[in-house]
Structure 1
Amino acid sequence: MRTFSAIAGSALFLVAAPGVVAGLLPCLLTDHYRKPLSAVPGFVPAGFVLVVGAAAILLHTFARFALEGLGTPAPVAPTEKLVVGGIYRHVRNPMYVAVLAIILGQALIFSSWPVLFYGLIAVAAMISFVKLYEEPTLANRYGEEYEVYRRAVPGWLPRLTPWRG
């Protein structure tokens, strides 16, 4: 039953948080995706690669939270275990990185300065949230286990080789 609750909660949070931040808000900033696609050669394919690749990573991270951590990314329903498998062996904040990549991809696809500017605001907000809330909370919840992980795995730029902790 705990696994089902974790999957349902994670799915709900996926729609509520990244769905709004990386989907609804960029949609509104691009006139509901009705703007013409970028006229700059290479921007549209690069943007689609970012959006599709990051969406796959985002789904992977949510699955890890539900299946490995038996919880959700939502602060109100945290994981029972620290999630360090899969993509988390390369980077500590893959959800945020994926959301930012989706936003950047949309800025490229639609040649949208408002979406790019929004992405910069999102970067600042996410880094602040991680530094001021998430890292202290994880350190308190998981103690030395999190500190070892934090020292070994970078927060924002993935390491090439997976951490074997």
Structure 2
Amino acid sequence: MTASGDASRDKRLAKIGTAVFAVAPATAAGLLPWMVTRWRVQQPVPGGLPAQCAGVLLIGAGAVVITNSFARFALEGIGTPAPFAPPKNLVVTGFYRFVRNPIYVGIGAAITGQGLLLGQPRLFGLAALGAVPVVAFVSLHEEPTLARKFGAEYDDYRANVPRWLPRLTPWRQQD
């Protein structure tokens, strides 16, 4: 097979793998909140309509961030967000210019948004509880692995883009 054929095959496999792995954030941001609340709205909703509007915005923003970030893994990283099928290229575009972990941040936003929309404070606890293994995984496995694989490129990225709280302006990689 030619180099362009290999690249085409790699992209196709990355797209398939990323689509399959999408079950993970769908479970975290959809199935688990449903299991906790059955998506019942607490009456009255604490904070009323303003809280519910903020919730809708957080859910929408989380969905956009997750979807866009997943697509970047397949199209630019030529891999998946899954630890067992990592990207070949370091992804530092899109939402990754603002925060190093946009998928995790997007999942947290979606769960928090559901808590606001439904008036279900238990979902805030779910988001906080879910953050514990995520922070441990990122700190103990993901970041050391990326540092080994991408070296100075990742070190530069890590020095300029925060882990959890997004930058206000996009980072631009220096060539």
Measured against the shorter chain, the TM-score band is: over 0.9
- 2:138 is aligned, of 126, 130, 136, to 130
Shift of 1:40: 2.6
How far apart are 1:33 and its partner, in Å? 1.2
Q: Cα RMSD over matched residues? A: 1.2
1:47 to 46, 55, 65: 55
TM-score (ref. length: structure 1): 0.94
Aligned to 1:25: 32
Q: Deviations over 1:3-56 (max 9, x none)?
A: 1111111111112x10111110000100x2133462532111110100011101
Question: Where does the alignment leave 5 or more consecutive residues of structure 2 unmatched?
Answer: 1-8
Q: TM-score, normalization: structure 2? A: 0.89
Question: Aligned residue for 1:161?
Answer: 169
Alignment correspondent of 2:82? 74
Which of the pair has more CA radius of gyration? 2
Alignment partner of 1:144 is 2:152? yes
Instruction: Check if 1:115 corresponds to 2:123.
Output: yes
1:10 paired with 2:18, answer yes
1:43-75 per-residue CA deviation (whole Å, 9 max, x = no partner) reads 111101000111011100000000000000001
Count residues in correspondence.
163
Amino acid at match of 1:147: D
Runs of 4+ in structure 1 off by over 6 angstroms are none
2:73 to 61, 65, 70: 65
